[in-house]
Amino acid sequence: MLSSRLDKKGSGAALSQNGQVVLCVDDEVVGLQVRKLILERSGYKVLTAQDGPSGITLFNDNAIDAVVLDYSMPGMHGGEVAARMRAIKPEVPILLLSAYMGLPSEITNLVTIYMTKGEGAPALLQKLKELFTARQ
């Protein structure tokens, strides 16, 4: 399942992140919805996908400014998704989220930032901001 709808109303528009589009990919629906809400309230436009193939399709078909990607997903894990995304648009920063600590370097080297889910929403927003600041 994928949602290719850009939410234009976003209550975070006053905080404006310059309309930056973030693609969130996670098979856990609740986590995906919570992240989408947090990011929209912070002024980001958010696209969501519930699996790797759908995420890759959205990534390929839309102007994406950053990706928030879950590692542990059935069928295609986040490392595989990141590798395919890097082959399509290598310049787009990818933030990999995982419940696991100590992922292999061949996975973490594919992404811009790696963080554990336990770090929480404030850390996610800070690291996403750092991604955009580093690109300027």
Among 11-20, 40-49, 69-78, 103-112, the range scoring the smallest mean pLDDT is 11-20
Question: pTM of this prediction?
Answer: 0.85
Residue 4 lies in a domain: no
- Start-end of H helices in the chain: 29-41, 52-61, 78-88, 105-108, 120-135
- CA distance readout (Å), 48 to 17, 25, 57, 65: 18, 6, 11, 13
Residue 116 lies in a domain: yes
Residue 119 lies in a domain: yes
Residue 98 lies in a domain: yes
Residues with Cβ within 8 Å of 57's Cβ and at least 6 positions away in sequence, in order, are 2, 49
What would the mean pLDDT of 6-28 be, rounded to a whole number? 64
User: What residue numbers bound the domain in which 69 lies?
Assistant: 13-126
Q: CATH no. for residue 53?
A: 3.40.50.2300
With CA atoms as reference, report the closest residue to 49 among 78, 27, 18.
27
Total domains present in the chain:
1
